[in-house]
A = this chain, B = another copy of it.
Amino acid sequence: MQYKKYGGTYAVRIDLNEEIMQSLKALCEQEDIHLAQVDAIGAANRAVIGVYDLEKQAYHREELSGFMEITSLAGNVTRMNGEAYLHLHGTLADQNHALHGGHIIEMTVGATCEMFVRTLPGEVTRARDQALGINLIAL
């Protein structure tokens, strides 16, 4: 991973075989990022994505591999339990031009990933919502 800050926005390059969630978490820790909007494109060679089932309070998971384009990857950085908390959703196009998408659990870079992390002046925290089974932002 390489990154550089331009105004309040980090331009980030994540490299072949680096896992994107871990890389972004590391960036947030190194740079003490508390609130940010995230947008990226690139290529992946592996991903674990999920679609949430509110009744079962669990994600239907799908594991993907092979050369894929990251057609969109967007979300936010907030804080929970004193740590950076990442929430990203994305879509991927595979070699057969079929699309896959959902909540991003893991995604490994297949060639390069180009990300913008636009920091916002403030802090937003999350708290567990027992009825939904997810961590909601508190504003």
Contact = CB atoms under 8 A, between A and B. Distances in A.
Contacts of A138: 2
A99 interface: yes
Number of copies: 3
Contact of A51 (B7, B11, B69, B90): B69
Given A62-B97, A89-B41, A91-B101, A72 B69 contact: no
Interface residues of A, number: 65
CB-based closest 5 A-B pairs: A71-B101, A6-B120, A41-B89, A6-B122, A2-B139
Interface of A: 2-4, 6-7, 9, 11-13, 16, 35, 37, 39, 41-43, 45, 49-55, 60, 62, 67-72, 74-76, 87-91, 93-95, 97, 99-103, 110-112, 114, 116, 118, 120-122, 124, 132, 134, 136-139
